[in-house]
Structure 1
Amino acid sequence: MAFGCICFPFRRLRRCKKCQQTYHAECLRELFTSTLSSSPYHPPRCCGYFIPLSMLYTLYSDQPTPPPPAATSPTEKGAATEEISEKSASTGPKRNDALASSLAAFREVTENAVDCSKCKKWVLPQDIDEDKETAHCNPKFGGCGATTCVICNGPAHPPPSAPKGKAAKFASKPGCTKVNDDERGEVRFKRLVGREGWRQCGKCGWMLSRDTGCCEVICRCGHYETLAF
C-alpha cells in the first residue's frame, strides 16, 4: 500500500527518501494503522520499500514539534519536509500510551518477532543484523543495549574463533550452537519470508511473491491470494 498526500497546506510533511513522495504526519499514522487491519499490507511500505517502524517514535509523541510555516512556493514546500528515515525517530519528546499500544500491535503482526534476551523489549526489525544473526536492543528507542541471538532468542554468541573478553561481544559471523544447520536454515527462511512480505498459499502451502501487477495472485494450484508487494 502506497500513496502520496494531497492535503493542504504543506506543513509537517515527511518525505519518502526512495520515491520523494510526501506525507502529512497524520496521514502517515493512518498508513501505519491501515496495515494492522489488513495483513497482506504489513509491514508498511511506500513504493515497495519498507518504512522503518522507528518512525512510530516520531508520529506518536505527546508533544509534537511545532509545525513550520505553511509553504507558499515549491522551494518552501521542500524546506518544510523531512525524510522518512531512522534519523527522524531519534528526535522526539516523551513517548505516550498511543506509541506503546501501537508498538504492541505491530509486534503481534510481525513475523518471528525478537524480544531482547535481557530486558524483554521488542527489538525493531531494522535493528536486526541477519548476517550476524543478532538483534540489537537500541538505546535510541528505550532499549538496554544488549544483543540477542535471533536463532535461539538467548544472549548473542561469539563465533568459536572469536577472541574472548570485550571483543567477543561483537560476532563477526553466526555463532549459535544451540540448533543444527537444518533448524538454523528453517529459522532464517521464516525470517526472510517475513521481511519480503511473501505468503504461503492457503490451499497448497506454496510460497508466493509479487513484483508487479494487481494484488490478486493466482497460485499454480489455482487458489487466489492477496499480496500487497
Structure 2
Amino acid sequence: MDDSGGQHVLHKNGSASDEDDAEDEEFSITCVACTEDAVWFDILAAPCNHQYCRDCVTELFQASMIDESLYPPRCCRQVIPLEDAKLVLHPKLVRDFEHKSIELDTKDRTYCFDPRCSTFIPIDHITDNIASCADCGRRTCAICKVAAHLGDCPRDEALQEFLQTADDQGWQRCYSCRRVVDLRTGCNHITCPCGAHFCYVCGASWVPRTCDCPQWDEERLQERAEQIANRDPHHRLYRPPQGALDPGLAPPARPDYDHLVNAIRGRLEQNHECDHERWVCRREPCRCEECNHHLQYYIFECRQCHIRACQRCRRNRLWIGCSIPTFVQTSIHGFLYLHTLSLVSDSPRMCCLYPHHELFTFLLGLGQELETQWKEGGCDSGWVLGG
C-alpha cells in the first residue's frame, strides 16, 4: 500500500519506480530547440506556445547576456517573460540576468574609463554627467566616456579617426545608443539592438518615419538578388520558356537568368518588411546569414525574403522585416576596430560597433591574435569579435 501521500516512492538506490518513470514519460514534451523529450515540469511554454526544455531556456538566457542580438530572450519575436522563465532557471542565473538587464536596457551606456576596470556604471551612479564607478572609485565623464574633467570634453583622436572612417565608408550611427552600423545586405530600415529603428541612408528615425530616402539601395538589391539566383538556379520563381522543358534542347540562355534575378528583386522589394512566418528546410550544408554559423546538413530559408538562418536565429534572433546587425558585442575603442577591420568586414549582413574604451588593452591583444589566426587560415570567414 502506498503511504507516501501521493508522492513518488524511491527505491533504495534513489531511482524512481518503473511505474513512475512510465508516468513521467507519458507526459514528456519535445523541445522545439534541441528536439529532445523532457518531462512536463522541465518545460517552459513561450508566449507563442513553442515548448523549450530547461537546458535550452538556460542556454538562451545565458547567451542573451553575451550576444545582444538575442536580448531580450524571445521566440517568434515575442519576448519570454523572466517571471515565467524563473520556473526553470537556476536562481543565480535569474539574479545575474536581472543585474545584466539593467546594463542592456540602458541606451547610452557609460563604462569606467580605466581599461583595467571597464565596469558598467548605471544611471543612478551618474550625477551632473559624472559617473562614479562602484568597483574602483574612478570617475568617468558620461558624455565623452573618458576620465572626468572640468570644462568641455577633450577631443578623442582615436574615436574621431574611427568616426571619420565610418563617414568615408558610408556607415551610419544609431541616433539612440550611438553604435556605428555597416549594412551588407537588406533594406535601409535598420533595427538596432537597443530597439531604435532608423534609416541607414540619413540616420533619421524610421518609426515613425521622418525621411523620404529609398527603401533599398539599388546596387545592394541587385547584388542580393543575384546571390539568391546563383545559389539556386532552379529557384521556384524561375519560369523557363515552354521549349526549354524539352530535354533535347539546349539549356536556357542568359536572358532567363536575368528574368529570374528580376523576379527575385521584385520578391525582395515586396517583402522588405517580411514577418518570416513561412520557412522551408534546405537539405544542404550552408552558413547561417545571421550568426554566420556553418550547418553541415541543413538550413532554413524564409520563403518570402529568402534569408537563410539556423534554428536559433529564426526562432530567437530575427525580428520583423528590417535589417538586423551582426555586431561586435563588446564596446570597442575606434583604434581597435581599425586594427581588426579585415576581420569584421566579412560579416554577412551588417556589423555594428559601440565605440567606447571598455577592455581596450585586452581587446587590442585579442585583435592581433585573431588577425594572425585569420592570415594563417585558423578562423572561419565572417568572424567578428565577441564580448
What TM-score do you get using the length of structure 2 for normalisation? 0.23
Computing the radius of gyration from Cα coordinates, the structure with the larger value is: 2
